[in-house]
Structure 1
Amino acid sequence: MTRARTRIGFLMPDATFRRVFGQWDLRRLETHPDLELLADRPLDLGQPEDRSVLARAELLITGWGTQRIATETLGKLPELRAIAHSAGTLRPIVDPAVYARGIVVSSAAGANAIPVAEFTMALIVLGAKHAFWAADRIRSGADDADVEAAWPSVGARARTVGVIGASTIGRLVLARLRDMDLEVLLADPTLDPSRAAELGARLVPLEELAGISDIITVHAPSLPSTRGMIDRRLIARMRPGTVLINTARGDLVDQEALADRLEQGDLVALLDVADEEPLPRGARLRRCPNTFLTPHIAGSLGTEVGRLSAHAVDEAIAFATTGAFHDSISARAFALRA
């Protein structure tokens, strides 16, 4: 007896679809014997002809910009059993109603974490050498850029790196730090010292980490309990010369308190995220010394997005053939994720 094929549809903006999904991954979906691809393009619940097609979908592949799937939307998706998200965070699209209905969910957060960890490691090494300060000196026409004379401590050896959050990205960073001659600290309230040691770090309170780290890199999720966690008091604890890296979420850091400290000239901030994106033209951080800003580019870009589409297709095939995702995210895990 032939097994029924799992019906799949894309639900995301056309621009996201064209950016992420190439012909190779579409071909994998179209030709797999256990899958029925309802359309080789994204479908729109606002269009009657697409809505009737999506009403048959058992699995949705979502992505950046997908509309939030809440109770009202679920009413138009009576056959839906699974969501494979071809991006990182699920928070903008998955409402708790999804879990309440028993729909299983997967995310490409692990695939998207790889370039973020790579970007973070580049910032750690360049920040340790105060390379951005030196580049600014040269650009400004200074006759010298004596890094060792300008900063209390320099170099990517025998320094202390503090990692805030053993998230998916945080763990990838911790794994890469093992190859360097550094002391690694970790602040994460969900872990015990033995688990932190397994990850290659010494577990310490956040306040202690802030006070003794040469380089601090933020990888905590943005939750009501973590927003503003890098506050004025914590920033004041940081020693002169400390490098603060944030490739997580802008709202984890009190930006005004950070700007105040940066204007003193003794702290370095390497920031890929901001509380408001894009960072407003008048934002103080744009003018602060020793500040290197990038426009949220640590995640998948260009050729890197191929990992996201490949992950979503792999998950669709896994669900169709086994009834389960490889990287299923439970309701409990969802509550702790960014």
Structure 2
Amino acid sequence: MKKPTVVSLIKKELQTQLFSPADRERLNRLARIDEIEPDPEKPPRLPAETVACLTSWGSPRFTEEILTAAPDLKLVVYAAGSVRPVVSEALWKRGIVVTSASAAIAIGVAEHTLGLMLSTLKRVCRFNELLHQGGWYHQEERVKIREIYGLTVGVVGAGHAGRHFIRLLKNFEVRILLYDPYLDPAEAVRLGVEPAASLEALIPQVDVLSLHAPALPSTRDLINRENLKLFKDGALLINTARGALIDETALYEELLTGRLTACLDVRYPEPPVPEPPLWKLPNVILTPHIAGGVTDNMKRLGKYALRELENFFSGRPPVYPVTERDLERMA
């Protein structure tokens, strides 16, 4: 029996990061995999018999020209986060199913968020610096440690990353508050968290605030000069979502007071501009957008893509479909 045709529009170097040898074998058993190296100067010519496409970062947008060549295309699997770079009006009109690996990426984001929270509360970076200079006990620093027991953690955004972070927090004795304007209060109860009516109601209550909202016009400068003043003294702000959620100039000015600590994995723009010089402040922990997937976690994205194809060919529904309407509230 002739195998169905799946076209990979993923860069070869990225393919090796996404798919383990074992998963690559499973793909080849499942379908005939045609590989087309993406070229930004030249749209790919899909074989007419193409039924599904594998895509990821760097894959082309599915324009009318590309789609016309493949009338049997039914599925676009996006082994990355936001599908915006590949979708088009022409694709939606054809009713082609689109799936995203954002849920797979979210696991790494949540894990990184938890790591930043625990290590910062425990002042790991500061103690590492001090111990490299000599000495051991450093009582003057030990008294500044905060531990997670009994703290109140606020989560902003109940998407995949926010929900997985909540699941991780369930391993600790903490109070969890959640703000998401799209969340049904009954769903918050099912998640085992306390819903907050607004961000302004949430902020004054929390010891830790973790951002997991999408970057949309409505979320630009979600954390700003006005609500930064609402944070408790000693609070910790974590952003592993998108840099545009924070007014960095306002954050810098607030951090200069020493009242708050911030952990930032994302900036706006990236790479960040020299001003404001957040990197000079001792109460800022910075990582270079490494939360979602860099090495080992990339294989989880490949596993997700394989699962979506297996579901498609067996007649099962997609695990993480994305519709045109979903984009209204997705990054």
Provide the TM-score with structure 2 as the length reference.
0.90
AA in 2 matched with 1:296? H
**Counterpart of 1:187?**
179
**Counterpart of 1:330?**
323
- 1:54 positional shift: 4.0
Q: 1:139 to 1:292 in 2, by over 3 A?
A: farther
Residue 36 in structure 1 maps to residue 32 in structure 2: yes
Inter-partner Cα distance in structure 1 for 2:49 and 2:38: 13
Inter-partner Cα distance in structure 2 for 1:234 and 1:253: 11
Among 79, 84, 91, the residue aligned to 1:91: 84
- 1:136 positional shift: 4.6
Q: 1:323 to 1:149 in 2, by over 3 A?
A: closer
Q: 1:300 to 1:290 in 2, by over 3 A?
A: same
Residue 67 in structure 1 maps to residue 60 in structure 2: yes
Moved more, 155-164 or 118-127: 118-127
**Counterpart of 2:114?**
121
Inter-partner Cα distance in structure 2 for 1:228 and 1:128: 25
- Matched residue SS, 2:50: coil
Q: Do 1:129 and 1:147's aligned partners in 2 also have CA atoms closer than 8 Å?
A: no
- Matched residue SS, 2:84: coil
Residue 146 in structure 1 maps to residue 140 in structure 2: yes
**Counterpart of 2:123?**
130
Residue 234 in structure 1 maps to residue 227 in structure 2: yes
**Counterpart of 2:193?**
201
Residue 155 in structure 1 maps to residue 153 in structure 2: no
Q: 1:158 to 1:96 in 2, by over 3 A?
A: farther
Q: 1:45 to 1:294 in 2, by over 3 A?
A: closer
- Matched residue SS, 2:253: helix
Q: 1:200 to 1:147 in 2, by over 3 A?
A: farther
Q: 1:86 to 1:327 in 2, by over 3 A?
A: same
Residue 296 in structure 1 maps to residue 289 in structure 2: yes
- 1:238 positional shift: 1.0
Q: 1:323 to 1:173 in 2, by over 3 A?
A: closer
Please show how residues 249-260 of structure 1 align to structure 2 within 5 Å.
249-260=242-253
**Counterpart of 1:8?**
6
- 1:107 positional shift: 1.3
Residue 175 in structure 1 maps to residue 167 in structure 2: yes
Unaligned runs of 5+ residues in structure 2 are none
Q: 1:256 to 1:76 in 2, by over 3 A?
A: farther
- Matched residue SS, 1:237: coil
- Matched residue SS, 1:163: strand
Q: Do 1:5 and 1:320's aligned partners in 2 also have CA atoms closer than 8 Å?
A: no
- 1:71 positional shift: 3.7
- 1:67 positional shift: 2.2
Identity %: 33
Inter-partner Cα distance in structure 2 for 1:156 and 1:202: 18
After superposition, give the CA deviation of every residue in 1:139-178 in whole Å (9 maximum; x if it has no partner).
Answer: 6779836345447xx2111111000011101001111112
Inter-partner Cα distance in structure 2 for 1:130 and 1:242: 13
- Matched residue SS, 1:264: coil
- Please provide the CA RMSD for this pair: 2.5
Q: Do 1:51 and 1:76's aligned partners in 2 also have CA atoms closer than 8 Å?
A: no
- 1:127 positional shift: 2.7
Inter-partner Cα distance in structure 2 for 1:142 and 1:239: 32
**Counterpart of 1:212?**
205
Q: Do 1:262 and 1:289's aligned partners in 2 also have CA atoms closer than 8 Å?
A: no
- 1:53 positional shift: 4.4
Q: Do 2:224 and 2:246's aligned partners in 1 also have CA atoms closer than 8 Å?
A: yes
- Matched residue SS, 1:91: coil
- Matched residue SS, 2:209: strand
AA in 2 matched with 1:36? R
Q: Do 2:46 and 2:66's aligned partners in 1 also have CA atoms closer than 8 Å?
A: no
- Matched residue SS, 2:327: helix
Provide the TM-score with structure 1 as the length reference.
0.88
- Paired positions, count: 329
Q: Do 1:11 and 1:44's aligned partners in 2 also have CA atoms closer than 8 Å?
A: yes
- 1:187 positional shift: 0.6
Moved more, 124-133 or 109-118: 124-133
- 1:45 positional shift: 6.2
Inter-partner Cα distance in structure 1 for 2:240 and 2:6: 33
Among 67, 82, 104, the residue aligned to 2:97: 104
Unaligned runs of 5+ residues in structure 1 are none
Deviating 4+ runs (over 6 angstroms) = 45-48, 140-143
